[in-house]
Amino acid sequence: MKLLPTPLAGLTLIETTAIADARGRFVRVFCEQELAAMTGGNPIAQVNLATTHRAGSIRGLHFQREPAAESKLVRCLRGRVYDVAVDLRKGSTTFLHWHAYELDASGQRQVYIPAGFAHGFQALEDDVELLYLHGARWSPAHEGTLRFDDPALGIAWPLPITQVSDKDRQAPLLGAGFCGISA
């Protein structure tokens, strides 16, 4: 695993190498020892699989507040996505900055998103699948959502938006009073 820092502290792109032969390929997705510097040795608490049927669809931007703040290790298993992380950490020098990257099913890249970030993605193809390894269990009482089209963020989604859930579409816009979350 090759760990590649991004402009947002803690947000890390991870390149993996596939071992291939006539049978197919093998890729290590998670190694506690190699990723311990990022994860702090926290265990994986939950694993989720998201399937999105239509190109242009957006999921997110989702996060959890303390005491249920969660980190995520995200990998694309099928198709291609434009994956976005937004720094919500109170006091961060990159507060409300976002960074995006393309993940695809080639299996070469995945991303580690630390606690204190919102996460979302846009499907760049039909029928994409993302695998999420979460550092905390989902807690509805601590869940938050940012609007995908909030002008305060100015996220440049690459495709026309085709589908968004009612929950994500109805998320409030950031106001001047939003000072971040503790992580």
Of the residues 97, 101, 132, 142, only one is catalytic, namely 132
| pLDDT of res. 149 | 97
Please give the model's pTM, rounded to 2 decimal places.
Answer: 0.88
Q: Tokens 């999105």 appear where?
A: 52
The question of whether 112 is a catalytic residue gets the answer no
What pLDDT is stored for residue 38 in this prediction?
A: 64
The model's pLDDT over 7-35, given as tens digits with 9 standing for 90+, comes to: 999 898 888 777 777 878 676 676 666 66
119 is catalytic: no
Distance CA 118, CA 77 (A): 21
pLDDT, tens digit, 9 for 90 and up, residues 65-102: 999 999 999 999 999 999 999 999 999 999 999 999 99
Which of the following is catalytic: 53, 62, 101, 119?
62
Type of residue found at 81: V
CA pair distance 175, 57, nearest whole angstrom = 25
* Tokens representing residue 44 in the block: 């994986």
Does residue 42 or residue 173 have the better pLDDT? 173
